[in-house]
């Protein structure tokens, strides 16, 4: 069994923002896997889509707690299903990675990402695989001088949209490859 969490903020006003690439990725995965539509699970405070892929149960999760409190929903899901740490995957944005690039890691620290800080704090461990999707283009297409909290809550510029879409698609493809052939295969192909 795998739990795949995309981090983001709920609500239409955030749907296409940089901070929501995690949601975008699990939306794409739901389509790839052919799972039914999202259902709000009030116990988890998360939208859930689940099914079977490659003979493995998959639970896709979109926390509805807002980014900085993501750990509240993620910890409830993980504790309910009691999966090994290696079977929890978290997908989220990273301002330190160039727009259009992704990074796959078996574990790591939260860095400056408040959503991952919340997840690690409430889970009590950080040794879970993650895919970070680069959203940074300040000084290239986006203006150089921007405050990070504001930057991540803005939509991609028109000239950035194709790179952002490609990164989300690559993250989804990397996850599918990891399910089929393992984390290292995904790292080798996409890092």
Q: Catalytic residue positions?
A: 19
The Cα 78–Cα 56 span in angstroms is 16
The Cα 107–Cα 99 span in angstroms is 22
Query: Vertex 19, ends 78 and 120: CA angle to 5°?
Result: 30
10 Å CB burial of residue 124 (0-12, 13-18, 19+) is exposed
Least Cα distance to 63 among 47, 42, 39 occurs for 47
Please state the length of the chain.
Answer: 191
Using DSSP, state whether 151 is helix, strand or coil: helix
Longest CA–CA separation in the chain, Å? 48
């Amino acid at each position: 069994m795998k739990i795949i969490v995309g981090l983001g903020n709920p609500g239409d006003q955030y749907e296409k923002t940089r901070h929501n690439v995690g949601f975008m990725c699990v939306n794409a995965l739901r389509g790839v896997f052919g799972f039914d539509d999202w259902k709000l699970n009030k116990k988890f405070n998360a939208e859930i889509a689940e099914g079977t892929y490659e003979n493995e149960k998959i639970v896709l999760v979109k926390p509805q707690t807002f980014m900085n409190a993501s750990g509240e929903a993620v910890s409830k899901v993980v504790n309910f299903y009691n999966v090994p740490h290696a079977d929890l995957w978290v997908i989220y944005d990273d301002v330190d990675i160039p727009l259009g690039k992704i990074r796959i890691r078996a574990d790591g620290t939260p860095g400056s990402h408040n959503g991952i800080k919340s997840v690690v704090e409430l889970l009590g461990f950080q040794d879970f695989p993650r895919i970070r999707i680069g959203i940074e283009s300040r000084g290239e297409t986006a203006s150089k001088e921007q405050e990070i909290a504001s930057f991540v809550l803005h939509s991609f510029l028109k000239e950035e949209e194709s790179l952002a879409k490609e990164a989300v698609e690559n993250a989804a493809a990397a996850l599918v490859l990891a399910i089929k052939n393992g984390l290292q295969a995904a790292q080798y192909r996409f890092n």
